Amino acid sequence: MPRRAFLLGLTCGACYFTGTIYWVGQLMQVYGGLSWPVAILVTLALVAYLALFPAFFALITRRLVEAFGPAALLLTPAVWVATEFGRSYLLTGFPWVLLGYTQASVLQIAQVASLVGVYGLSALVALVNATLAYLLFAPTFRARVAAVAMVVSLIVTASVWGTLRMHDEALVRHGTPIRVGIVQGNVPQDEKWDAARATAIFNRYLALSAQAADRGARLIVWPESSTPFMIEEDPSGREAIRQLAQRSGAFFLIGSDQIERRQPLRYYNAAFLVGPDGRTLAVYRKMHLVPFGEYVPLKRILFFAAPLVESVSDFSAGEQAVLLPFGNHPISTSICYEVVYPDLVRRFVLGGSQVITTITNDAWFGRSSAPSQHFEQATLRAIEEGRYLVRAANTGISGIVDPYGRVVARSGLFEPAVLVGDVRALTGLTLYARLGDLVAYAAVMLTAVALLAAIGLRRTSSFDQ
């Protein structure tokens, strides 16, 4: 029955997302000002919404199998990717823990992302599981053998190709080397905006940056909202950064909030590139804001979460994918959870970015699995785009990832750190960078066509009867 399929999918989705975003409740309670019962209610509401996508996957799959028989199970990778793609964009999107990210640490397989992106990896994982299901219902032994042979051949081919791609190492031999420094200040979230701690926090970043500069860093990256003040609104802080840049001769990429003084006032989560002469060369404003973190959607409906609505800063979204001029090598940055949007990072690379960076403040997540989830999702952007990725996180995990997804340097959680390493400015484009999420669009089209055919077949059968 359709209802049974929907409920089974909903249950699967509830387990999936409860196990992966359980930390939302703690975040809402500790930093959103909600009581535990209300924080749990908000978390369950989010889990229930996300579980709708696996539920619709199950519902569509049931209809296809009903119309076309067990062979329709082999169409389910397209259905799964279509629902993931919908989850990534509907209501601003939440593309967290997509199925393809399970392969982020399986580097031989993960190289496929340079061709088809994370949605292609999702399709591959779904195909393996769909084939296992098909083995239980295939009408003949020959059909079972054919399905297994197809999937095994695909996995072996992907693994061999990925291994050869990594061993070639062309992307770590070419390009202009750049020495980068990453500063991890390790500022607890409840101290971040404490006026009494502001001087100590800022001095910590200056001291750690000096260490990075002494080790030869030409680009020094601070995390998201790292300054305990708005960099444009504090003359003494701005002057201290200017002097450090002049003394060190380095570029500084600094996360700080920004005010645009018009009516009404607009606030932005921004990243400033400061040149060796101390001038601000470019500013990038975050384009994908975090719901319930930087703005609250549906404020009127969520009246029961009033403390959360009051505590969340009401930021405005940036409108341009601004490149940052690091000499002759344009670079880009994604702020916080923007890095889980593959197409946004791709836009920077198509615009000319030769190194991708991401700055974040993951202190919100505590010691949950979220910082590791966030880091692993970011590493896949390096493979997709064929670029080095530099990640600065307030409390970790900070790191440098090469274009094959290999972690060159990595910090621990909740410790001050300075990471210094070499990256290369690269200009070539991967197939994914050229074609984008073609697999996802194809999956949506294939799902729509198959579903229409199944509906049409049902109507024809009803007419014949």
Give how far the C-alpha of residue 221 lies from the chain's centroid of Cα atoms, to the nearest Å. 19
Cα–Cα distance between 251 and 273 in angstroms, integer? 7
- Residue 196 CB: number of other CB atoms within 10 A? 7
φ, ψ of residue 97 to 5 degrees: the values are 45, 50
**Could you tell me which residues come within 8 angstroms of residue 13 by beta carbon, excluding any fewer than 6 positions away?**
47, 50, 51, 52, 53, 54, 55
Cα–Cα distance between 113 and 162 in angstroms, integer? 10
Cis peptide leading into residue 264 (ω within 30°) = yes
Q: Let me know the angle formed at the C-alpha of 274 by 272 and 278, rounded to the nearest 5 degrees.
A: 140
Note whether 412 and 396 are within 8 A (CB): yes
Residue ranges of the alpha helices (H) in 215-305?
Answer: 235-248
Long-range contacts, 22-28 (Cβ 8 Å, 24+): 22/368, 23/365, 23/366, 23/368, 23/369, 23/370, 26/366, 26/368, 27/364, 27/365, 27/366, 28/292, 28/305, 28/308
- Measured CA to CA in angstroms, residue 72 lies from 61, 62, 67, 445 at distances of 8, 9, 8, 16
155: tokens are 């996995």
Angle between helices 342-351 and 113-137 (to 10 degrees): 150
Note whether 246 and 252 are within 8 A (CB): no
Q: Let me know the angle formed at the C-alpha of 65 by 63 and 68, rounded to the nearest 5 degrees.
A: 105
b/e per residue, 314-345, with b = 16+ CB within 10 A?
Answer: ebbebeebbbbebeebbbbbbbbbbbbbbebb
Residues marked active site are found at 224, 286, 336
3-state percent breakdown (helix, strand, coil) of the chain, nearest 5: 55, 15, 25
